[in-house]
Structure 1
Amino acid sequence: MDPITLGYLGIAALIFLVLVGVPVAYAAACTGIVGMMLLRNSTVAIGLSGIIPYANSGHYALSVLPLFITIGFLAMHAGITTSAYDAARKWVGRAPGGLATATIFASAGFAAVSGASTASTAVFTRLALPEMEARGYDSRLAAGVVAVGGTLAALIPPSAILVIYGIIVEQSVAKLLLAGLVPGVISMIVYLLVITIVVKMKPGLAPLEPGVSFMEKIKALPQVSGVFAVVGVILGGIYLGWMTPTESAGVATAIILVMALFKKIGLRDFHAGLLDTVRTTVMIFMVIWGVMIFVRFLAFTGLPGTVTDLVVNLDVPRWVILLGIIVMYLLMGMILDGLGMMMLTLPVVFPAITGLGYDPIWFGILLVKLIEVGVVTPPVGLNCYVVNGIRPDIPLESVFRGVTPFLIGEVFIIGIIVAFPDLILLLPNLMN
């Protein structure tokens, strides 16, 4: 069989396996092994499948992932997230949709110590959602705010998915983390504007909160000191060139650990934090191993190079091709999870993007934003399923309806990223 044809069949088989419920790691690994057997022989296929996991796990830049994940889970189990939410509530509680606004601010703070979208959504479903409901907030708005707030963790450093993107396409992890800050802040501002507009149009969705004295607000500031310390170490250390991303993550982990000990974290909570870290890390690495085996199979077929030549030689403006890629990812986000979608498509899409002259750091930010839109888009909006899974009394349909106004804001954010690439690359370029 022609190798290019076999490559297309491999992609089709992989997509089919994922759609019928086979985990991405197993689907990618099995498809890749069978494909290499057909192209070469069983000895080559099995030998490479044994070498690839070790070769890719031994990458120094990947050591930052378990550290970022540890920061998030320790912060959650030590109650640091709860303190940040309480401080945000005191400062912005009187604004229209004050508790919803506080949830977005607190989600941004948790994003700065987490890097995991679903973890952030799970935390604030337990923390903020009951608080908003108790104060008379509409459950659809409250659920939508919690689901969309979790997406900030993918852009605001530290971001696990940006690290994985950097490893796959061999780009600077430090530049990617810095590049995520500006669009992360833009996303937060747009979400706050959406809340304000929705509440102004329908005041009954979010009752006003009682006022808090200025002294109470000042006393609440130390509650977010850990978040600011982590952000300062990670961004400051990388930007100033004092530390690599892994070194900054190590120092930030130490800071969170000390804060957890000062908060007298219990042995059970400490054990739960470490166990959650191990589970999440193993899941991510298994996906990386499986997809890398599949990528090796695609390299043997020559399909990525063929697709790149085809796309680059199309007689249309490059923005038309970019628009097609954006629409493709938005549609794929409705049926596939973000990590698997990114790892399955990048071997083919990334060479075409760079061949068209687009900046790889900028494209990484755009891709992650598109992935995060997918986690709140029906029918497979993972963050929405997390909210529904923790709170089954709130129908999934209600969660998606609560997210709907924010999807309009997401279109605006994507437009900014596409129209102003220099804004996205501001911090990485300054680092140079």
Structure 2
Amino acid sequence: MSSEIIGFLCVAGMFGLIALRMPIALAMAVTGFVGFGWIIAFRPAISILENGAFETLSSYDFSPIPMFILMGVFASKARMSAELFHGAKTLFGAWRGGMALAAVTSCGVFSAISGSSLATAASMSKVALPEMKKNGYAASLATGTLAAGGTLGIMIPPSLALLLYGLMTEQSVGDMFIAGIIPGLLGLALYMVAIAITVALKPQLATPGDATNLREKLAGLKGLIPFGAIFALIIGGIYGGIFTPTEAASVGAAGALAIALFRGMTWKDFVDAIQETLIMSTMIFFMVIGAEVFGYFLQVSRISQTLIEIVTHLELSPFMVLLSILALYVVLGMVMDSIAMLLLTVPIVYPLAMQAGFDPIWFGIVTVITVELGLITPPIGMNVFVIKSVSEDVRITEIFKGVVPFVLSDVVRLALLIAFPVLALALI
């Protein structure tokens, strides 16, 4: 049996294990071990298991992951999300749908130091959802806004998804972060447009807020200052060549800690933050180790090379190759976490994208946006279920109904980036 056939059989078996609810990290590791042993030999496969974990965990390149997670957790423990939402709420004053605009704006700003879609959605929904319900917002609009707003955490830098993509494809993490700024802000702007159009077409979904004067609006901006300062410190330091991404992550975590301490973070909060960071980091590193073992198997199975040969034989255009890859991500995004999806698929699809002639950084941005889209796409959008866990009285169908305008806006953003790659590459 050829290595290619063994490779495809093992990949099919891996998806079977995932369907049986085996953790994705373990499924990748098992598949990599069995596949490599089947094609080469099991003694060197055992050596890969022995050395893969050590090489991954001792790599300096992966050290920003726990620091960026710690930064977001410190921000959450400092209750910065509540102040951020209330500050944003004053900016939109008496606008109909102003709280929804404030919620999605808060998600965008909070994601700048969170880096995680699920964490952004969970943190902001606890603050914004009760107030939106109390003020007469339709459940579909309130929950849909927060589910979609949480997805901004995967794009607006610093982003764990962009970090991992850069490390896996050997692209500059700093360039990936800089390239994510315009697409991230474009996503925020399009979400705000989606809310405005939805409320204009169906005014009954939202109520006007309380009018605020200029002084109150300026006072509300104070809630944005800590986020702006940390974001400017990280991105400005990377862009100016002052920090490496690893150093920027450490500086950002220290800045978030200083703000949290200033706002009265207790020793218990600090210990909880460390524990939460360790748990999240362990989960991600476990997946990275699984992906490392899986990567050795992919090399010897020649799956990527075989796919390239198939695409060449079929004479597919670069656009059709891209469309096929993006369709795969939308489908996988319905049932899989974004980080796991990237670790699992990028080693396979990245060579296809390079063979098609795409810019690697642009392809990374488009890929992450498509992964982001999968987080709110029915029937199983991860962010939708995060919001459902916070608002158990709202039917899941109502949340999916509420995310429809945002799905459409993400499709528009994706189309703009495909048509105008300069949107992702202009700042590099």
TM-score tier by shorter-chain length is: over 0.9
Are the aligned partners of 2:89 and 2:99 in contact in 1 as well (CA < 8 Å)? yes
2:285 paired with 1:285: yes
2:110 alignment partner in structure 1: 110
Whole-angstrom distance in 1 between the partners of 2:156 and 2:125: 20
Whole-angstrom distance in 2 between the partners of 1:104 and 1:232: 20
Are the aligned partners of 1:93 and 1:102 in contact in 2 as well (CA < 8 Å)? no
Count of equivalent residues:
428
1:164 alignment partner in structure 2: 164
Q: TM-score, normalised to structure 1's length? A: 0.96
CA deviation string 1:26-83 (max 9, x = no partner):
1111111111221222221111111112212233221111111111111011111211
CA-CA distance at 1:332 after TM superposition: 2.1
Find the residue that maps to 2:394 and give its secondary structure. coil
Whole-angstrom distance in 2 between the partners of 1:186 and 1:329: 21
1:186 alignment partner in structure 2: 186
Are the aligned partners of 1:19 and 1:335 in contact in 2 as well (CA < 8 Å)? no
Find the residue that maps to 1:113 and give its secondary structure. helix
Are the aligned partners of 1:312 and 1:355 in contact in 2 as well (CA < 8 Å)? no
1:263 alignment partner in structure 2: 263
CA-CA distance at 1:222 after TM superposition: 2.4
CA-CA distance at 1:210 after TM superposition: 1.2
TM-align CA RMSD: 1.3
CA deviation string 1:307-355 (max 9, x = no partner):
2233245423211221222222212222322222222221221011111
Q: TM-score, normalised to structure 2's length? A: 0.97
2:368 paired with 1:400: no
Are the aligned partners of 2:230 and 2:255 in contact in 1 as well (CA < 8 Å)? yes
CA deviation string 1:213-251 (max 9, x = no partner):
222222232222110111101111111111111111211
Find the residue that maps to 2:393 and give its secondary structure. coil
Are the aligned partners of 1:155 and 1:162 in contact in 2 as well (CA < 8 Å)? yes
Are the aligned partners of 2:336 and 2:382 in contact in 1 as well (CA < 8 Å)? no
Query: Match of 1:184, as an amino acid?
Result: G
2:33 alignment partner in structure 1: 33
1:139 alignment partner in structure 2: 139
Equivalent residues in 2 for 1:44-63 (5 A)? 44-63=44-63
Equivalent residues in 2 for 1:292-303 (5 A)? 292-303=292-303
Query: Match of 2:92, as an amino acid?
Result: V
263-272 or 43-52: bigger deviation: 263-272
CA deviation string 1:281-317 (max 9, x = no partner):
1111101101211111111112222222332454232
Query: Match of 2:135, as an amino acid?
Result: R
Query: Match of 1:197, as an amino acid?
Result: I
Equivalent residues in 2 for 1:280-429 (5 A)? 280-428=280-428
Query: Match of 2:387, as an amino acid?
Result: V
Structure 2 residues not aligned, in runs of 5+: none
Whole-angstrom distance in 1 between the partners of 2:55 and 2:297: 16
Are the aligned partners of 1:125 and 1:146 in contact in 2 as well (CA < 8 Å)? yes
378-387 or 56-65: bigger deviation: 56-65
Whole-angstrom distance in 1 between the partners of 2:283 and 2:396: 25
Query: Match of 1:172, as an amino acid?
Result: S
CA deviation string 1:364-399 (max 9, x = no partner):
000100101111111220000111112211111111
Whole-angstrom distance in 1 between the partners of 2:94 and 2:266: 34
Structure 1 residues not aligned, in runs of 5+: none
